[in-house]
C-alpha cells in the first residue's frame, strides 16, 4: 500500500512538472513517417510538411488558400514565348548560420535535385532546362517548353533552397545526421532542433526568419505507431493536436464528443484503382471497363470509411477546375449488368470466370486499406464471372512491383504536388508518368492532348481538353477513381490557427495556443 | 579462483558454437528470399546500371560463400553492417532500442517471479487441496492466454475504462526524452539526474506492459516452484527441521523455498528466451519502442541487414543470459564443482 | 487393460482434466468439420447484419466493421488455426523424431554435432525464429505452417534422443543385441514403442504451443492473406475499434484461442500424469 501511494505522489509530481511545459509548447501527434530529410528525394506528404515549415520557396500559398504569393522572391516576369521565367529575389535574407541567400543558392539546389534524380526529380527535369544566375538577386528559369504553372512548381519543397554547405552535393541525405553540422539549415519559420526517427521531432522558432514570427515558439511532433493509440493520447490530453491518420471510427467518436476542435479539410486527395495496361490480363481495355463498372463507391465509403469521404467519378477531384462526373454517367456504381455483358461477350462463364490478383499496401494509406480490398473483392464477386485473390505488399516492395509489372490491379492514392488538374492526370496517362506509376499506358493521342493543355494558358482551351480527356478516361480506364478523401485535424479547445486549405499545406507558424 | 576462471571460460567457449550456428542459420535464411531488396530500396525507378552499382557497393553480387566470410569477418569486429533502407549503421537503432526491450523484459521477469514463486510455494504447501488445484488451474490457464490479448484486455480495463495507466510508449508525449536520455535505460537515466517526475512517468508507463508479460509467464514459475518445493519438502532435512519443532511456516519458506529456488535459477535462462519472445508481442501492442518493434518494422521494409543484426543481437543476449545464469548457479549451489 | 483400471483409481483429477481437454478439442474439431451446422452466416458475407452491432439474438457474437458475423468468423477460423497448428506439430514430429532416434542410437560425432545444432535452435526464442521464417517465406497457409514447424523440431529431437539414450542402456536392448538383432529391428521393436507414449504427450502440448504461435504470427500480420478467417488477424483488426466501445471483436477470438490452447494443454497434462507412472514401472 505504501508503495502505491508513493507512486501516486510521484505521478502527481510528474503531472505538475509537465504542465509547466504545456504553455509555450504544442505537442502534435501523427502516425505518418518521415522518409528522407532531403528535398531531392522526399516525395511524401509528411516529409514535405516538415520542409514547408523549416524552409521557404520562391513562391508560397497564403495559408489555407490556393493563392500563390511571392515569398523568397519578390516577383517574376515571363517572356513572350512563355518558356522563360525571371524571378527577382528578396534582399537581406540569411540562413540561420549567416550564409546569405542569393541566386546561386537557388541554382545550386535545383541543379542538385536534377542531378540526384530522386523520386520528385521529374518535377524539375520534366519542365526546367536550366537555371541561370543573372545576378545576386535575379534568377532565370529556362524551361523545356511554355508552361503555365511554374510558379506553383517553385512552391513545392523540391525547389526549396537549402544551405549548400550543409547538404552533400553528390548524394541523398536520408537522415539529419548526414548533414554537415547535423542540422537542416534553411529559410523557414522554424528550425528542426531534434529528430529521433519514429519517436519525436522538435521544432523551435527560427530567429533569422525573413517573415513574421510564429505564434508558438516550440512544437514537438510525437510519432505514433497506430491511430488508436494516438486517439487515446489526444483524449487523455497527452497531445494537443492530432493530424493523419485517424481511423474513421475514431473520427466519428471525437466529433461526437464535442470536446475537441475538429477541422475537416476537403482537399484534393484521391484514391483509385490502377491497372497494368501493357502486359497483364488488363491489356484489354474492355476488362478494365468491366472491373470499373463493378465498383460501388458509396458502399465502400460507408462500409470502410463510415461515410466520411466522398465518392469520386473522375481523376480530377471535385473542387478543382474542369472536374466532371463522367464515370458516373458512363458506368454508375455496382453495375453488374454492364460488367456481365462485357465479360460474357469475351467468353467468361461461371465455370471459367475472369480471375486476377488485387493488390493493396497495408499501412502506407492507413489501417482501413485491407478493408477496402475486402469490400471491393466482395463487390467484384457479386457476379460469378469474376474471381479475385487479395494480395498485399508493404510500400517499399509495392513500389518496386510497379517496375516489374507484377500487379495487374492495385490501389494507389494521390496528394497534390501542385494545384492543377494536370497533376491528377498526366502522372497516369502520359507515357512518362504512366511508366513511373506502374500503369505503362502510352498513346500518342493522349500525349498530344497533354502537351496541348500544358503549354497553353488559355482557360477555354484547357477546359475543352480536360473535358475530352475525362470522357476518354471512362473508355480507356487505365485507372478507376474511387473516392476523394477528407482529412481531419483534431485539437484541444485552446488550440487555434489550423489553416489547411486545398493545398493541404500545414503551416505551423499560424498556430496559436490560448492559455 | 583459477578453477572459477576456467569454468567461466569453458561455459563461454561452449556458448560460441551456439551463437555461430544461429548466425549461420539466419544468414542462410535471409539470402534465400524472393524479391529484390535493392530495387525496392532505390525507389523502383532506377535504371539497371544504378541497381547493379548499388549491389556491388553492398557486396550482394559476390558468391554466397564470399558474402558469408565477409559477414563473419565484420561480426568479429562488432560491425553489424549498414542498413539497406536508411543511411545508418545497423547497430545504431539497435543500441537505441535494446535498453527499452531489456527494461521491459526485466520488469516482466520481476512480475512473473513475484507472482509465480509465492503462488507456487503456497500451492506446494496445500498439496491436493482446493487451493492447490485452483493455483495449478491458474498456472495452466494463464499460459494459454495470448500475450497480445492480455495486453489488449489490460489496456481496455486499466487504460481506457478506468484510465489509471497509460497504454502506449515509454514516456508521456510531453516529456522531452532528450533532456535525460543517456544510457537508454530510462529508469537509471531519470534517477541519475534526479528528475523524480520523469522517473514516475517512466515507471507508470512500465506497469501495464510488464504485467502483460509477467502474468502470462508467471504460470511457468508457479509450476516450477511447486514441483521443486514438493521434492524439497519430502527431503530429510525438512523432516529434521519439523522434528526440531520449527514452525511450519519457517520450515516451508526459509528452509524449503530457498533450496527449491536453486533449480529455478537454472531455468531462468530458458525462461528469458520466452520473455524476449513475448516482449515482441507486448511491444507491438503497447507501441513500445524496443527491439521487437524494430524487427517488425524492418521486416516490413525488407531491410535485411538490420533484420539480421537484430537476430544476431537476440542470440547474443540469450547466450549472455544463459552464461550469467550458469555462473549464478555455480555461485549459489555449493554442490557445483568448478 | 489392467494398468488402465489401476491408473484411474489413483489419478482421478488428472482423468477429469484430460477428459475436459478432450471435450473441448472434440467440440472445436466438430466446428471445423461441420461449420455450417454451427454458423448460419458465411464468414465473408459482408451483409450479414448491421455494421459493428453488439452481441444479440441474431448474432451471438455481434458483427464486425464490415458487417460480417463474428460467430461465423470464429467458427470458420477454427479450421485455419487448428489446421496450421496440427500440421506444423506433425511436421516437426516427423522430422524431429527420426533424427532424434538416429542421433541417440548412433552416438559419436554425428550425435554431438546434431545435438549442438538442435540445442542452439532450442535455446533461441521460438517466436522470433518463426517470425524470421514467416517474414522470409511470405504469407500463405503452407509458408506459415513451415515457419511454425521449424521452431519445434528441436523439441522432438531432444525428447526422443534423451529417451533413446536411456533406453539404449536397458537390459532388454542389450539382450536383443546379444541375440544378434539388427539395428533397425532394435530401433523399431524395442526403442520406438517406449518412446511413443512420451511423444504423444509432447505432441499434445506442442499443438497448444503451435496454436499460440500461429495466432501471434497472424496478429503481427505475417500470417495469412486477407480473406481467410483467422482469429489472430481478426484480433488485430478489432483492436482499432476498442476505444469506440466495440469490445466483441477482440474478446471472442481471444477467448477461443485461449480455449483451444487450453484444451490441448489439459489433454497433454492429463496424459502425462497418467502415462508417466506406467513408464516408470517398466
CA distance C222 to C127: 12
> What's the rounded Cα separation, in Å, for the pair A238 and A59?
36
Cβ–Cβ gap C261/B144 under 8 Å: yes
Mean pLDDT of A264-284: 90
Assign A61 a pLDDT band (cuts: 50, 70, 90). Answer: very high
Judge contact between A183 and A47, C-beta under 8 A: no
Q: At what angle do helices B258-286 and C192-220 cross, to 10 degrees?
A: 40
Residues ≥6 apart with Cβ < 8 Å to B60: B38, B67
| Contact yes or no for C104/C160 (Cβ under 8 A) | yes
Lowest mean per-residue pLDDT among A225-234, B276-285, C76-85:
A225-234
If you average pLDDT over residues A112-138, what whole number do you get?
Answer: 89
pLDDT of residue C10: 52
Strands (E), chain C: none
Dihedral sign from CA coordinates of A243, A246, A249, A250: negative
Q: Is there a contact between B218 and B115 (Cβ–Cβ < 8 Å)? A: yes
Are C51 and A367 within 8 A, CB to CB? no
Distance (Å, whole) CA B279 – CA B290? 9
- Binding partners of B (≥3 Cβ pairs within 8 A): A, C
Q: What is the share, in percent, of chain A residues with pLDDT greater than 70?
A: 96
Q: Are A243 and A231 in contact (CB under 8 A)?
A: no
Instruction: Quote the CA–CA distance of C215 and B216 in Å, as a whole number.
Output: 15
Query: How many residue pairs bridge chain A and chain B with CB atoms within 8 Å of each other?
Result: 117
pLDDT of A17 reads 42
> Residue A22 above 80 pLDDT?
no
**What pLDDT does B44 receive?**
44
Test mutation, A9, A14, A21, A392, chain B, max B CBs within 10 A = A14
Number of C-beta neighbours around residue A280 at 10 A: 18
Nearest residue in chain A measured CA to CA from C223: A392
Helix (H) or strand (E) holding A273, with range, is strand A261-275
At B317, list the grid cell: 543476449
DSSP B16-67: HHHHHHHHHHHHHHHHS--S-HHHHHTTT---HHHHHHHHHHHTTTS-HHHH
Cell of A46: 509528411
Helix (H, G, I), strand (E, B) or coil at A204: strand
For residues C105 and C195, is the Cβ–Cβ distance under 8 A?
Answer: no
Mean pLDDT, rounded, for C191-219: 86
Residues 6+ apart with CB under 8 A from B14: none
Q: Cα dihedral angle (A404, A410, A415, A416), rounded to 10 degrees?
A: 70
Classify domain C2-280 by CATH number.
1.10.3720.10
Residue A267 gets the label, from left (phi > 0), alpha (psi -120 to 50) or beta, of left
Residue of higher predicted confidence among B308 and A141: A141
Which of A267, A268, A264, A211 is closest to A52 using CA atoms? Answer: A211
Cβ of A374 under 8 Å from any chain C Cβ?
Answer: yes
How confident is the model over A397-417, as pLDDT tens digits? 788 788 788 899 999 999 888
Q: Are the beta carbons of A249 and C139 separated by less than 8 Å? A: no
| B293: nearest CA partner in chain A | A225
Determine how many CB atoms are found less than 10 A away from the CB of residue A270. Answer: 24
Sorting pLDDT into bands at 50, 70 and 90, what band is A330? very high
Reference A267, options A46, A470, A437, A64; nearest CA is A64
Which residues of chain B are within 8 Å of residue C208 when distances are taken between CB atoms?
A: 144
Contacts of A214 (CB under 8 A, 6+ apart): A189, A190, A205, A508, A509, A510, A511
Report the distance separating Cα A244 and Cα A31, nearest Å: 6
Q: Quickly state the pLDDT bin for C281 (edges 50, 70, 90).
A: very low
Nearest C-alpha of chain B: how many angstroms from A293?
31
Residue with more model confidence, A16 or C50 = C50
- Which residue in B88, B201, B301 is closest to A14 by CB distance? B201
> What pLDDT sits at residue A375?
94
pLDDT class for A324, splitting at 50, 70, 90? very high
Dist. CA B226–CA B118, nearest whole Å:
9
pTM to 2 decimal places: 0.84
- Model confidence at A10, pLDDT cuts 50, 70, 90, reads low
Output the pLDDT for position B57. 65
- Percentage of chain C lying above the pLDDT 70 cut: 89
Average pLDDT over residues C213-235: 87
Q: Are strands A386-392 and A241-243 parallel, antiparallel or unpaired?
A: unpaired
Does the pLDDT value for residue A450 go beyond 80?
Answer: yes
Highest-confidence segment of A102-106, B175-179, C130-134, C172-176: A102-106
Q: Is A339 a residue whose pLDDT tops 80? A: yes
Write the secondary structure of B122-140 as one string of H (helix), E (strand) and C (coil).
HHHHCCCCHHHHHHHHHHH
Band (A228; pLDDT cuts 50, 70, 90):
confident
| C-alpha closest to that of C136 among B30, A146, B164 | B30
CA angle A211, A215, A221 (to 5 degrees): 105
A119: closest CA among A479, A396, A357, A315? A396
Q: What is the ipTM of this complex?
A: 0.84
- The rounded distance, in Å, linking the Cα atoms of B98 and B184 is 8
- The residue count for chain C: 282
Confidence of residue A468 (pLDDT cuts 50, 70, 90): very high
Question: Mean pLDDT over all residues of chain A?
Answer: 88
Residue B46's pLDDT is: 53
- Tell me the C-alpha distance between A216 and A510, whole Å: 8
**Helix or strand run (H / E) with residue C3:** helix C2-10
**For the stretch C209-241, what's the b/e string if a residue is b when 16 or more beta carbons lie within 10 angstroms of its beta carbon?**
bbbbbbbbbbbbbbbbbbbbbbbbbbbbbbbbb
Tell me the chain B residues in contact with residue A10 when contact means C-beta distances shorter than 8 Å.
Answer: 196-197, 199-200, 203
Joined grid coordinates for residue A229: 493509440
Contact (CB, 8 A) for A139 and A130: no
Among B127, B233, B136, B226, residue whose Cα is nearest residue C270? B136
pLDDT above 70 for C262: yes
Q: B155: which DSSP letter?
A: I
Query: Does residue B232 contact residue B197 with C-beta atoms inside 8 Å?
Result: no
Flag if B21 and C121 touch (Cβ within 8 Å): yes
The DSSP H or E segment spanning A74 is strand A73-78
Q: How far apart are CA B259 and CA B252, in angstroms?
A: 10
Q: Is A141 exposed, middle or buried (0-12, 13-18, 19+ CB in 10 A)?
A: buried
Closest chain B C-alpha to C115 CA, distance in angstroms: 11
Please name the residue that has the C-alpha cell 492530432: A242
- The neighbouring-strand residues paired with A77 are A86
Q: What is the DSSP string of A148-192?
A: S-HHHHHTSGGG----TTTS-SSS---SGGGSGGGS---SSSEEE
At a CB cut-off of 8 Å and minimum separation 6, what does A473 contact?
A314, A315, A326, A327, A429, A479
Of C225, C239, C243, the CB nearest to A391: C225
Q: How confident is the model at residue A20 (pLDDT cuts 50, 70, 90)?
A: very low
A11 band by pLDDT with thresholds 50, 70 and 90: low
Parallel, antiparallel or unpaired: strands A479-491 and A310-311: antiparallel
Chain C neighbours among A 216-255 (CB < 8 Å)? 226-228, 231-232, 235, 247, 249-250, 252-253
CB-based contact C120 B32, cutoff 8 Å:
no
Pairing status of strand A128-135 against strand A200-205: unpaired
Looking at residue A16, what is its pLDDT? 43
- As a whole number of angstroms, the distance between CA C231 and CA C218 comes to 8
Which residues in B lie closer than 8 A to residue C136 (C-beta atoms)?
A: 29-30, 32-33
Burial A429-449 (b: 16+ CB within 10 A, else e): bbeebbbbbbbbbbbeebbeb
Residue with cell 508493404: A394
Residue whose grid cell is 485517424: A246
Radius of gyration over every alpha carbon of chain A, rounded to an integer in angstroms: 24
Average of per-residue pLDDT values in chain C: 83
> Which residues in chain C touch residue B145, judged by CB atoms under 8 angstroms apart?
254, 258
pLDDT for residue A19 is more than 50: no
Where chain B has pLDDT below 50, the residues are 43-45
Report the residue count for chain B.
338
**pLDDT (tens digit per residue) in A62-92:** 998 888 999 999 999 998 888 899 999 999 8
pLDDT over 90 for what percent of chain A? 55
Of the candidates B41, B178, B199, the beta carbon closest to that of A10 is on B199
- Return d(Cα C215, Cα A484) in angstroms, integer: 36
Burial status of residue A482 (CB atoms within 10 A of its CB: 0-12, 13-18, 19 or more): buried
The pLDDT of residue A164 is above 50:
yes
C136 touches chain A (CB under 8 A): no
| pLDDT, position B9 | 76
Contacts of B8 (CB under 8 A, 6+ apart): B327
Bond into C205 cis (ω within 30): no
User: In sequence order, what are the beta bridge partners of A495?
Assistant: A513
Task: Determine the pLDDT at residue A52.
Answer: 93
Rounded distance between C-alpha atoms, residue A384 and residue A403, angstroms: 32
Check: CB of residue B101 under 8 Å from CB of residue B284: no
- Per-residue pLDDT tens for B69-116? 877 787 777 777 777 667 678 888 898 899 999 999 999 999 999 999
Amino acid at each position: 500500500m505504501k508503495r502505491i501511494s508513493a507512486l501516486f505522489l510521484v505521478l502527481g509530481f510528474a503531472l505538475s512538472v509537465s504542465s509547466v511545459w504545456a504553455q509555450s509548447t504544442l505537442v502534435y501527434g501523427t502516425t505518418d513517417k518521415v522518409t528522407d530529410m532531403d528535398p531531392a528525394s522526399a516525395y511524401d506528404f509528411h516529409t514535405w510538411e516538415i520542409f514547408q515549415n523549416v524552409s521557404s520557396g520562391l513562391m508560397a500559398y497564403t495559408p489555407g488558400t490556393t493563392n500563390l504569393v511571392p515569398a523568397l522572391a519578390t516577383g517574376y516576369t515571363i517572356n513572350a514565348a512563355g518558356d522563360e521565367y525571371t524571378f527577382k529575389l528578396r534582399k537581406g535574407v540569411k540562413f540561420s548560420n549567416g550564409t546569405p541567400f542569393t541566386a546561386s543558392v537557388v541554382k545550386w539546389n535545383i541543379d542538385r535535385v536534377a542531378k540526384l534524380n530522386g523520386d520528385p526529380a521529374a518535377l524539375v527535369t520534366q519542365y526546367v532546362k536550366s537555371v541561370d544566375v543573372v545576378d545576386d538577386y535575379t534568377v532565370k528559369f529556362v524551361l523545356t517548353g511554355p508552361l503555365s504553372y511554374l510558379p506553383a512548381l517553385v512552391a513545392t519543397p523540391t525547389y526549396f533552397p537549402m544551405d549548400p554547405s550543409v547538404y552533400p552535393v553528390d548524394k541523398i541525405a536520408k537522415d539529419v545526421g548526414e548533414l554537415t553540422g547535423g542540422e537542416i539549415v534553411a529559410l523557414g519559420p522554424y528550425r528542426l532542433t531534434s529528430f529521433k526517427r519514429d519517436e519525436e521531432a522538435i521544432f523551435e522558432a527560427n530567429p533569422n526568419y525573413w517573415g513574421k514570427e510564429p505564434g508558438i515558439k516550440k512544437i514537438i511532433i510525437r510519432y505514433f505507431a497506430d491511430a488508436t493509440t494516438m486517439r487515446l493520447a489526444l483524449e487523455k490530453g497527452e497531445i494537443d493536436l492530432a493530424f493523419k491518420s485517424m481511423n474513421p471510427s475514431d473520427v466519428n467518436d471525437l466529433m461526437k464528443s464535442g470536446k475537441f476542435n475538429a477541422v475537416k479539410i476537403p482537399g484534393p486527395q484521391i484514391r483509385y484503382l490502377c491497372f497494368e495496361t501493357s502486359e497483364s490480363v488488363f491489356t484489354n481495355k474492355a476488362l478494365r471497363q468491366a472491373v470499373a463498372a463493378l465498383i460501388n463507391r458509396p458502399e465502400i465509403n460507408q462500409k470502410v470509411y463510415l461515410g466520411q469521404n466522398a465518392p469520386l467519378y473522375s481523376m480530377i477531384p471535385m473542387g478543382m477546375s474542369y472536374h466532371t462526373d463522367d464515370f458516373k454517367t458512363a458506368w454508375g456504381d455496382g453495375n453488374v449488368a454492364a460488367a456481365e455483358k462485357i465479360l460474357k461477350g469475351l467468353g467468361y462463364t461461371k465455370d471459367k470466370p475472369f480471375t486476377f490478383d488485387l493488390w493493396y499496401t497495408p499501412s502506407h494509406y492507413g489501417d482501413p486499406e485491407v478493408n477496402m480490398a475486402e469490400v471491393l473483392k466482395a463487390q467484384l464477386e457479386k457476379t460469378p464471372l469474376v474471381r479475385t485473390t487479395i494480395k498485399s505488399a508493404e510500400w517499399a516492395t509495392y513500389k518496386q512491383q510497379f517496375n516489374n509489372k507484377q500487379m495487374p490491379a492495385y490501389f494507389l492514392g494521390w496528394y497534390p504536388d501542385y494545384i492543377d488538374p494536370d497533376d491528377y492526370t498526366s502522372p497516369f496517362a502520359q507515357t512518362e508518368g504512366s511508366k513511373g506509376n506502374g500503369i505503362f499506358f502510352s498513346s500518342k493521342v493522349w500525349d498530344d492532348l497533354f502537351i496541348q493543355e500544358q503549354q497553353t494558358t488559355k482557360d477555354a482551351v484547357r477546359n475543352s481538353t480536360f473535358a475530352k480527356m475525362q470522357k476518354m478516361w471512362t473508355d480507356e480506364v487505365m485507372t478507376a477513381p474511387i473516392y476523394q478523401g477528407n482529412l481531419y485535424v483534431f485539437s484541444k479547445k485552446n488550440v487555434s490557427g489550423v489553416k489547411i486549405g486545398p493545398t493541404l499545406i500545414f503551416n505551423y507558424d499560424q498556430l496559436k495556443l490560448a492559455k | 579462483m583459477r578453477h572459477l576462471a576456467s569454468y567461466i571460460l569453458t561455459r563461454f567457449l561452449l556458448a560460441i558454437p551456439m551463437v555461430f550456428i544461429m548466425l549461420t542459420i539466419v544468414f542462410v535464411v535471409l539470402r534465400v528470399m524472393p524479391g529484390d531488396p535493392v530495387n525496392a530500396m532505390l525507389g523502383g525507378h532506377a535504371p539497371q546500371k544504378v541497381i547493379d552499382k548499388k549491389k556491388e557497393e553492398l557486396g550482394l553480387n559476390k558468391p554466397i560463400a564470399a558474402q558469408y566470410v565477409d559477414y563473419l569477418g565484420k561480426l568479429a569486429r562488432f560491425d553489424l553492417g549498414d542498413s539497406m533502407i536508411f543511411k545508418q549503421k545497423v547497430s545504431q537503432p539497435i543500441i537505441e532500442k535494446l535498453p527499452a526491450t531489456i527494461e521491459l523484459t526485466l520488469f516482466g521477469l520481476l512480475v512473473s517471479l513475484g507472482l509465480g514463486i509465492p503462488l507456487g510455494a503456497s500451492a506446494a504447501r496445500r498439496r491436493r487441496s482446493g487451493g492447490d488445484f485452483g493455483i495449478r488451474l491458474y498456472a495452466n490457464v494463464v499460459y494459454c492466454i495470448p500475450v497480445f490479448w492480455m495486453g489488449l484486455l489490460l489496456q481496455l480495463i486499466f487504460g481506457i475504462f478506468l484510465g489509471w495507466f497509460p497504454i502506449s510508449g515509454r514516456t508521456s508525449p510531453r516529456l522531452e526524452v532528450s533532456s535525460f536520455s543517456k544510457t537508454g535505460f530510462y529508469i537509471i537515466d531519470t534517477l541519475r539526474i534526479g528528475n523524480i517526475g520523469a522517473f514516475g512517468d517512466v515507471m507508470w508507463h512500465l506497469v501495464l506492459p510488464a504485467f502483460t508479460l509477467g502474468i502470462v509467464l508467471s504460470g511457468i514459475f508457479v509450476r516450477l516452484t511447486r514441483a521443486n518445493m514438493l521434492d524439497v519438502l519430502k527431503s530429510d532435512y525438512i523432516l529434521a527441521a519439523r522434528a526440531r519443532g520449527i514452525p511450519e511456516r519457517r520450515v516451508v519458506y526459509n528452509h524449503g523455498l530457498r533450496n527449491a529456488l536453486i533449480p529455478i535459477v537454472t531455468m531462468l535462462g530458458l525462461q528469458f528466451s520466452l520473455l524476449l519472445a513475448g516482449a515482441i508481442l507486448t511491444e507491438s501492442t503497447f507501441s513500445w519502442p524496443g527491439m521487437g518493434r524494430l524487427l517488425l518494422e524492418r521486416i516490413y521494409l525488407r531491410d535485411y541487414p538490420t533484420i539480421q543484426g537484430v537476430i544476431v543481437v537476440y542470440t547474443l543476449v540469450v547466450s549472455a543470459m544463459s552464461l550469467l545464469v550458469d555462473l549464478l548457479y555455480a555461485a549459489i549451489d555449493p554442490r557445483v564443482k568448478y | 487393460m489392467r494398468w488402465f483400471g489401476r491408473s484411474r483409481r489413483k489419478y482421478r483429477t488428472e482423468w477429469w482434466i484430460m477428459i475436459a481437454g478432450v471435450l473441448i478439442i472434440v467440440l472445436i474439431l466438430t466446428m471445423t468439420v461441420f461449420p455450417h451446422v454451427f454458423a448460419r452466416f458465411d464468414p465473408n458475407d459482408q451483409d450479414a447484419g448491421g455494421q459493428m452491432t453488439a452481441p444479440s439474438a441474431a448474432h451471438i457474437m455481434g458483427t464486425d466493421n464490415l458487417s460480417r458475423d463474428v460467430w461465423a468468423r470464429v467458427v470458420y477460423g477454427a479450421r485455419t488455426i487448428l489446421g496450421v497448428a496440427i500440421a506444423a506439430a506433425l511436421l516437426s514430429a516427423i522430422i524431429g523424431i527420426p533424427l532424434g532416434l538416429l542421433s541417440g542410437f548412433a552416438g559419436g560425432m554425428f550425435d554431438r554435432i546434431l545435438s549442438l545444432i538442435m540445442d542452439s535452435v532450442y535455446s533461441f526464442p521460438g517466436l522470433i525464429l518463426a517470425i524470421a521464417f514467416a517474414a522470409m517465406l511470405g504469407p500463405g497457409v503452407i509458408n506459415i505452417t513451415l515457419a511454425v514447424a521449424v521452431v519445434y523440431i528441436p523439441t522432438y529431437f531432444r525428447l526422443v534422443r534423451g529417451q533413446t539414450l536411456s533406453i539404449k542402456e536397458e537390459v532388454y536392448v542389450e539382450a536383443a543385441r546379444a541375440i544378434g538383432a539388427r539395428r533397425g529391428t532394435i530401433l523399431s521393436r524395442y526403442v520406438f514403442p517406449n518412446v511413443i507414449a512420451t511423444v504423444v504427450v509432447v505432441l499434445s502440448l506442442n499443438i497448444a504451443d503451435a496454436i499460440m504461435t500461429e495466432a501471434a504470427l497472424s496478429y503481427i500480420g505475417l500470417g495469412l492473406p486477407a480473406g481467410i478467417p483467422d482469429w489472430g488477424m481478426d484480433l488485430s483488426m478489432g483492436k482499432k475499434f476498442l476505444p469506440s466501445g466495440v469490445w466483441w471483436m477482440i474478446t471472442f477470438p481471444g477467448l477461443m484461442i485461449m480455449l483451444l490452447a487450453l484444451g490441448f494443454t489439459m489433454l497433454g497434462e492429463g496424459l502425462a500424469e497418467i502415462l508417466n507412472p506406467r513408464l516408470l514401472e517398466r
